[in-house]
Amino acid sequence: MKTKLKACCSIILALVIFLIPMNCNAANNYNTNEWTEMEKIELKEKYKQLFPEHYIDIILFEQEGIDTSITEPVVIYDGEKECNGTTYSLTVYDNRQILICIEESVIVI
């Protein structure tokens, strides 16, 4: 009788563990509206260092904006590089649009 009870409890516990959603939301600490001018300059310098061949695309985006005459933009570059535990990615489209993503590893204790 105890064996059946243990088996039943084990099955119920396993089902509970698998059925309860265990979501982990990534922290989003980067909000361009809250960046200081110094942080923006440092970020541009980091991208200039990591992606020197595509830094001109960042400058063109800032100076000229997105070319709205291109209705279906195509990715012309998509890459990522790591520096000191942080991954920086850059996606460049043929309409001068750029996307950047900064991913930091966080140790949770």
| pLDDT tens string 27-71 | 555 555 577 889 888 989 999 999 999 999 999 998 988 988 989
Query: What is the pLDDT at residue 95?
Result: 93
**Measuring CA to CA, how many Å separate 56 from each of 20, 21, 61, 63?**
48, 44, 9, 10
- Buried b / exposed e over 55-73, threshold 16 CB at 10 Å, is bebbeebeeeeeeeeeeee
Name the pTM for this structure.
0.63
Find the radius of gyration of the CA atoms of the chain.
23
| Mean pLDDT computed over every residue of the chain | 80
